[in-house]
Amino acid sequence: MPTDAAIPVRTTSLLPNRRTWLAALGFAGFILAWYAAVHWSPFAAFNRLPDPFEVVVEWTSSDPYYGISIFTADYYTHIFYSTYRALAAFGLAVLLGVPLGIFMGWKPGVRAYAGSLLSLLRPVPPLAWVPIAILVFPGVEPAVIFVTFLVAFFATTMNTLVGVRAIPQDYYRAAACLGASNRDVLFDVVIPGAMPSIFTGLQIAMGAAWFSLVAGEMIAAQYGLGFLIWESYSLIQYPTIVIGMATLGLVGYLSSAAVRLVGRRLMAWHEQRLGMAG
């Protein structure tokens, strides 16, 4: 039974439209503060930055000063490269990470062997692999994808493992009682039971993929949003830096949202549970 007594000391839930008003006010304030800092503040550091309107104009102009806007092909090439790399790495992470996570969770033997190896490699921050990846892999593309894959792989495997181990023992026993074979248990209990955790892992993996992709692109790539951001800095095309950053944030958010959507579609039963108790 929800109650109306104020819960933490001073939060009251505001009416929806008042909230949207305040959100709009918040954005306007942010834009204004940004503009003021760039133009009216005494600090040289701020004055060097591009102001919001400069960025928007460049971003939406059909003939952008620095050649990158929603109307130029290059803009979409960079987006394509980044998205392709992120999805390739994410796909690999799913193909390898989910099965490994499932078997590590389900079979103690697999966990014994793989567990220690993973905990040996995990503390090494994935981006430290960039130099080695460039050396080992032929060319830049596989190296960047490998590093991005690594980050997503650890997140996927770990969450899948946690998901499988969280399945209550009674489900396994119920299946056994009803005559399920070992193979049946895998497909009828282990995989569906771990799905919610798997999708949590996939969301984290997608976020992590974009996170490390940027570094790989900045350090070693010729195309991609990370490259675009770094190159615009070197060529002193400052508004394009902000365009690159905003696009990265947007595409990153959309891809995570896509993973959430697929999850919701695949797990209609889970949705009900949330709906009921939500």
Q: Are 109 and 115 in contact (CB under 8 A)?
A: no
Measured from the CB of residue 241, what is the shortest distance to another protein in angstroms?
Answer: 5
Asked if 145 touches another protein (CB under 8 A), the answer is no
Asked if 238 touches another protein (CB under 8 A), the answer is yes
Asked if 151 touches another protein (CB under 8 A), the answer is yes
Q: Are 47 and 38 in contact (CB under 8 A)?
A: yes
Asked if 182 touches another protein (CB under 8 A), the answer is no
Name the one residue in this structure whose structure tokens are 């591009």: 50
Distance CA 159, CA 52 (A): 39
CA distances from 49 to 9, 30, 54, 56, 228 (A): 40, 15, 10, 14, 17
Measured from the CB of residue 123, what is the shortest distance to another protein in angstroms?
Answer: 4
Measured from the CB of residue 106, what is the shortest distance to another protein in angstroms?
Answer: 13
Asked if 186 touches another protein (CB under 8 A), the answer is no
Q: Give the up-direction half-sphere exposure of residue 62: CA atoms within 13 A in the CB hemisphere.
A: 0
Distance CA 149, CA 210 (A): 10
| Residue-wise DSSP of 175-214 | HHHTT--HHHHIIIIIHHHHHHHHHHHHHHHHHHHHHHHH
- Residue among 64 and 216 whose Cβ is closer to another protein: 216
Single residue of 154, 190, 227, 243 touching another protein by CB under 8 A = 154
What residues numbered 244-273 form the site for another protein, per CB under 8 A?
A: 244-246, 248-250, 252-253, 256, 260, 267-270, 272-273
Q: Hey, what are 160's tokens?
A: 């899948």
Distance CA 102, CA 159 (A): 10
Measured from the CB of residue 138, what is the shortest distance to another protein in angstroms?
Answer: 7
Distance CA 208, CA 86 (A): 10
Measured from the CB of residue 171, what is the shortest distance to another protein in angstroms?
Answer: 6
Asked if 67 touches another protein (CB under 8 A), the answer is no
Single residue of 59, 230, 243, 263 touching another protein by CB under 8 A = 230
Distance CA 222, CA 191 (A): 40
What residues numbered 12-41 form the site for another protein, per CB under 8 A?
A: 12-14, 16, 18-19, 22-23, 25-27, 29-30
- Residue among 69 and 232 whose Cβ is closer to another protein: 232
Q: Are 156 and 94 in contact (CB under 8 A)?
A: yes
- Residue among 176 and 186 whose Cβ is closer to another protein: 176
Measured from the CB of residue 222, what is the shortest distance to another protein in angstroms?
Answer: 16
- Residue among 98 and 189 whose Cβ is closer to another protein: 189
Contact string 85-124 vs another protein (x = CB under 8 A): -----------------------xx-xxxxxxxxxx-xxx
State the virtual CA torsion across 85, 260, 200, 185 in degrees, nearest 10.
Answer: -100
For residue 208, give the nearest of 86, 91, 99, 95 by alpha carbon. Answer: 86
Measured from the CB of residue 76, what is the shortest distance to another protein in angstroms?
Answer: 18
